[in-house]
Chain A
Amino acid sequence: MTVDEALVKYCLRLGDDAMILGHRLSELCSKGPYLEEDIALTNISLDLFGQTRMMYTTAGELEGKGRKEDDFAYNRLEPEFENVLLVEQPNGHFGNTIARQLIFSVFYYHLFSELKNSPNENLAAFAAKSVKETTYHMRHSAEWVVRLGDGTEESHWRIKDALNEIWSYRHELFEQDEVDTTLVEAGLIPDTTTLKARFENSIKEVLDRATIDEVAEGWKATGGRRGHHSEYLGHILPIFQSIPRTYPDSTWS
């Protein structure tokens, strides 16, 4: 695999992660627990769609086959998406949404903090912009985990259960295949094994404040980076692909 081929894949994966989680959060538009939080969650969703657009556009330019952001979002099938399984998981109750967001945001905060120093200009610019947004997303979800964990008896067990359920999905974020090793060797992206301790420290700080002693260790989620998805992605894609597939290349008139 050449460095250029790996770069295209890497950008698409970053885009896919942001796209699918952005979609999940957009499902909560007008259904948030209360007005202010509805707006907070959909704001995060919009940030993620912005990140998606940057990465899909960059991938299209690097690939050089004339594919644009819409082609990647709307004209690919389920196995062609290489997002982690974490981002497909349903919103569930508010605690599930927040637990998923915490893991995602903490990982990407640490990744972007390193990636912004990449010698690749596209990745560096993308990470420098995204790390600011992600810092806020992390703060938002962390503060909620603290309040739910250190809240009522019910909110405590609900957020704890939610974290237990989603915790196994973090492994995939650190997975490295040929795409990653090619780019790590080229010095363009950080080695995710170096991020693991920082990720776990950040999570532990939040859990301590939330009075949650431990999160259950279970199975290791894997497959998303190879296009093997959970049952959920197949239900997500038709929702945002149905219009462009029914009316290809249609525009607002």
Chain B
Amino acid sequence: MSADNQFPQWEVFIQSKTGLPFKHAGNLHAADAELALQNARDLYTRRQEGTSIWVVPTDQIVASNPDDSDAFFDPAEDKIYRAATYYTMPEGAKHI
């Protein structure tokens, strides 16, 4: 199978335990969602890594552009008051 007629690409997210967040595990190629799920099970959960799987078409993920990182992330740099550690604890508060 050559590169230009591969099946669509899917991103795989695995939840290791109920209640925990899903983590990105990798990706794969599959004809459709059901087969993507089956392949994800074979590729990423063989050693009991997970209890639940999400598969998402790669082209459905909207990603920020690395070129935008200055505009996206730098403005947070000088706004240290957004972090809780900026504030001193009131003396009377004992259980925060």
Contacts and interface: CB of A to CB of B under 8 A. Distances in A.
A and B associate: yes
Contacts of A136: 38, 41
Interface residues of A, number: 14
Contact of B38 (A33, A34, A143): A143
B32 A36 contact: no
Contacts of A34: 1, 6-7, 29
A40 interface: yes
Contacts of A35: 29
A216 interface: no
B42 A40 contact: yes
Contact of A139 (B28, B38, B43): B38
Question: SS class of chain A's interface: helix, strand, loop or mixed?
Answer: helix
A9 to B, nearest CB: 33
Nearest to B39: A36
A143 B1 contact: no
Interface string B1-12: 100001100000
Please classify how large the interface on chain B is, using the bins under 10, 10 to 19, 20 to 34, 35 or more. 10 to 19
Most chain-A Cβ atoms within 10 A of its Cβ — which of B6, B34, B39?
B39
B1 A36 contact: no
B34 A36 contact: no
Contacts of B31: 147
Contacts of B38: 40, 136, 139-140, 143
Interface in B49-65: none
Contacts of A143: 34-35, 38
Given A140-B38, A143-B35, A143-B38, A36 B29 contact: yes
A36 B46 contact: no
B30 interface: yes
A91 interface: no
Nearest to A33: B1
A6 to B, nearest CB: 36
Nearest to B40: A36
Interface in B14-40: 28-32, 34-35, 38-39
A43 interface: yes
A43 B42 contact: yes
Contacts of A140: 38
Contacts of B41: 136
A43 B28 CA distance: 16
Nearest to B29: A36
A39 interface: yes
14 contacts: A34-B1, A34-B7, A34-B29, A36-B28, A36-B29, A36-B30, A39-B43, A136-B38, A139-B38, A140-B38, A143-B34, A144-B35, A147-B31, A147-B35
